[in-house]
């Protein structure tokens, strides 16, 4: 093909405009290398477009030149890139991600564990408070019991002291033929004149009635006191007597009588 023909064929315009095929491009570049006229023609086409391009001119913002400059000279000179935390290598990022993930999972687990522990502790506290209240009540009860026991002990010691005294005599009151199983015991200290009574066996009195102890002094029954309880652990203190020959118990109306009802005499014992 003639050189002029080649130039006028429009193939070079195609080439510059990106309309040439791969084969055409290879051929044109080969020709351009060989023939300065073709090379020149290509440049002339490009230059015309370059002039056209200048019609698009738009001033970029003023800061851009500085931005590009710093970017450019950093790129060129900065052979050693500055350590950039955002630009860590993927391995580190994965490890960090794993670490963060693990940390998140761990904190959630801890939160759950802590919540469980809190509920647990709260319940334990409630239960402990309950136990404490129970213990305080128990302690108060035991203290009360102890006080009672102390009183009982004191009383028992007093009774023991009384009974162990040489002057204290025990008089067993036996059941009369009408009440053969009935029995009671009188402890009488002839020195202090104190009289104590304990019921060994007496039927529970019918309502409105009470047992009454009598001391027989010189053949005359004298009121020695009313029995408030028929079943007491302790000796019951009765009226004092410095002199008596016998003791007897009769069932009387509530509050007692001034004279005994002989038909209702249950037990009797001679000193």
Partner 1 sequence: MSIKKNLTEEEVLSLIGRETEAGFNYLYDHYASTFYGIVLKIVFSEDAAQDVLQDGFVKIWKNISNYERKKGTLFTWMLNIIRNTAIDYTRSKHVRNKIRIDDEIVGLNNQLSESKNFDHIGMKEVIVKLKEEHKVVIEALYFSGYTQEEASKKLNLPLGTLKTRARTAIMTLRNLLKEIQ
Which residue number, 48 or 127, has a Cβ lying nearer to partner 1?
A: 48
17 binds partner 1 (CB under 8 A): yes
What are the Cα distances from residue 143, in Å, to 87, 130, 139, 150, 233?
77, 20, 6, 10, 21
Check residue 71 for interaction with partner 1 (CB under 8 A). yes
- Is residue 1 within the footprint of partner 1 (CB under 8 A)? no
Q: Tell me: does residue 7 bind partner 1 (CB under 8 A).
A: no
**Residue 10 makes contact with partner 1 by CB under 8 A:** yes
Calculate ∠ Cα 215-218-222, nearest 5°.
Answer: 30
Contacting residue, 3, 72, 95, 119, with partner 1 by CB under 8 A: 72
CB count, 10 Å around CB of 141? 10
Q: What's phi and psi for 81, nearest 5 deg?
A: -65, 140
Q: Which two tokens stand for residue 201?
A: 């066996």
**Residue 140 lies near partner 1 (rule: CB under 8 A):** no
Lookup result for tokens 């900065």: 78
Q: Which is nearer to partner 1, 60 or 81 (CB)?
A: 60
Residue closer to partner 1 (CB basis): 17 or 172? 17
With tokens 């009384």, the residue in question is 162
Instruction: Give the Cα separation of 100 and 90 in Å (integer).
Output: 15
Find out whether 192 and 233 touch, Cβ atoms under 8 Å. Answer: no
Residue 267's closest CA among 208, 213, 191, 220?
213
Asked whether 196 and 237 are in contact (CB, 8 A), the reply is: yes
Residue with Cβ nearer partner 1 (10 or 203): 10
Size of the site for partner 1 (CB under 8 A): 41
User: According to CB under 8 A, which one of 2, 60, 207, 231 is a site residue for partner 1?
Assistant: 60
- The nearer residue to partner 1, 20 or 195, going by C-beta atoms, is 20
- Binding segment for partner 1 (CB under 8 A), chosen from 29-37, 194-202, 208-216, 219-227, is 29-37
Q: Does 44 bind partner 1 (CB under 8 A)?
A: yes
- The neighbour count for residue 151, using CB atoms within 10 Å, is 10
46 near partner 1, judged by CB under 8 A = yes
Dihedral sign (CA 81, 83, 86, 90): positive
Phi-psi region of 256 (alpha: psi -120 to 50; beta: other; left: phi over 0): left
Binding flag, residue 65, partner 1 (CB under 8 A):
yes
Q: Is 39 in the site for partner 1 (CB under 8 A)?
A: yes
Report the residue from 22, 23, 59, 206 that binds partner 1 according to the rule CB under 8 A: 59
Structure tokens at 156: 């028992």
* Residues in Cβ contact with 191 at an 8 Å cutoff, skipping those fewer than 6 apart: 165, 167
Binding mask 73-112 for partner 1 (x = CB under 8 A): x-xx------------------------------------
Asked if residue 29 binds partner 1 (CB under 8 A), the reply is yes
* Interface pick for partner 1 out of 3, 24, 26, 48 (rule CB under 8 A): 48
Give the footprint of partner 1 on this chain (CB under 8 A).
Answer: 10, 13-14, 16-19, 29, 32-33, 39, 42-61, 64-65, 67-69, 71-73, 75-76
């Amino acid at each position: 093909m003639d050189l002029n023909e080649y130039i006028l064929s429009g193939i070079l315009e195609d080439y510059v405009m990106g309309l040439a095929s791969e084969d055409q491009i290879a051929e044109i570049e080969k020709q351009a290398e060989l023939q300065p006229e073709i090379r020149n023609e290509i440049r002339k086409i490009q230059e015309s477009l370059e002039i056209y391009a200048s019609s698009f001119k738009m001033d970029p913002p003023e800061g851009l030149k500085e931005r590009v400059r710093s970017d450019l000279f950093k790129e060129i000179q900065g052979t050693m890139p500055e350590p950039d935390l955002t630009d860590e290598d993927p391995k580190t990022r994965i490890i960090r991600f794993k670490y963060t993930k693990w940390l998140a999972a761990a904190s959630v687990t801890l939160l759950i564990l802590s919540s469980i522990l809190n509920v647990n502790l709260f319940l334990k506290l409630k239960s402990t408070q309950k136990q404490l209240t129970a213990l305080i009540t128990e302690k108060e009860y035991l203290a009360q019991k102890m006080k009672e026991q102390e009183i009982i002990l004191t009383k028992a010691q007093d009774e023991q002291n009384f009974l162990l005294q040489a002057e204290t005599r025990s008089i067993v009151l036996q059941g009369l033929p009408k009440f053969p199983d009935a029995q009671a015991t009188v402890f009488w200290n002839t020195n202090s004149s104190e009289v104590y009574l304990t019921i060994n066996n007496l039927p529970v009195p019918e309502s409105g009635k009470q047992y009454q102890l009598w001391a027989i002094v010189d053949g005359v029954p004298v009121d020695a006191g009313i029995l408030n309880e028929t079943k007491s652990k302790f000796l019951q203190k009765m009226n004092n007597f410095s002199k008596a020959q016998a003791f007897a118990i009769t069932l009387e109306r509530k509050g007692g009588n001034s004279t005994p009802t002989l038909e209702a005499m249950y037990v009797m014992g001679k000193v």
